[in-house]
A and B are shown apart, each in its own frame.
Chain A
Amino acid sequence: MLNACILLKVVPTRAELILEAVKEIRGVRKAYFTYGRFDIVAFVEAENYKDLRAITTKINSIDGVRSTETLAEA
Chain B
Amino acid sequence: MVSACVLIRTRRGEFEDVVKTVRQLKGVERAFPVLGRYDVVAELDVPDHTELGKVVLRMSRIAGVVFTETLVEVKP
List chain A positions with a Cβ less than 8 A from chain B. 3-5, 7, 30, 32-38, 41, 43, 69-74
Contact = CB atoms under 8 A, between A and B. Distances in A.
Contacts of A35: 71-72, 74
B71 A34 contact: yes
Nearest to B34: A71
Contacts of A34: 4-5, 71-74
Interface in B1-60: 3-5, 7, 15, 30, 32-38, 41, 43
Contact of B34 (A30, A32, A36, A74): A74
Given A41-B71, A71-B41, 7 more contacts: A30-B3, A36-B72, A37-B69, A37-B71, A71-B36, A71-B38, A74-B33
B52 to A, nearest CB: 11
B69 A36 contact: yes
Given A32-B3, A41-B5, A43-B43, A72 B71 contact: no
B35 to A, nearest CB: 5
B35 A36 contact: no
17 contacts: A5-B43, A34-B4, A34-B72, A34-B74, A35-B71, A36-B70, A36-B72, A41-B5, A43-B30, A69-B36, A71-B35, A72-B36, A73-B32, A73-B33, A73-B35, A74-B15, A74-B34
